[in-house]
Amino acid sequence: MECRKCGACCIALSVSTLKKPAGVRCPHLLPDNLCALWGKPERPWACSAFEPDPDFCGSNYLEALRLMSRLEQICVNANILQGHLPPQDRR
């Protein structure tokens, strides 16, 4: 799919290199929801590698926020579960 430049991914997803938690607007997200670091070397690799996908982006901004927030929660839960596994079973 083509990115509709809604900015939902820059709010809903965490970006570890920026220490940006999930659900918080990225400080580099401009008022028009474009990335201020676009094309610059300091743009995080994770942001450059992220591809729009209907499974994550849905069909509109609110749907993207909902889908990506759920994805983040699944990752948080998986990390919590990993913490309860014996070391040899952790990935």
CB of 61 to ligand SF4, least distance (A): 7
66 binds ligand SF4 (CB under 6 A): no
Of 16, 29, 62, 71, the one binding ligand SF4 by CB under 6 A: 29
Check if the beta carbon of residue 9 is closer than 8 Å to that of residue 64: yes
Check if the beta carbon of residue 61 is closer than 8 Å to that of residue 35: no
Q: How far is CA 90 from CA 48, 73, 81, in A?
A: 28, 19, 9
Q: Which residues bind ligand SF4 (CB under 6 A)?
A: 3-10, 15, 26, 28-29, 35, 37, 43-44, 47, 52, 57, 64
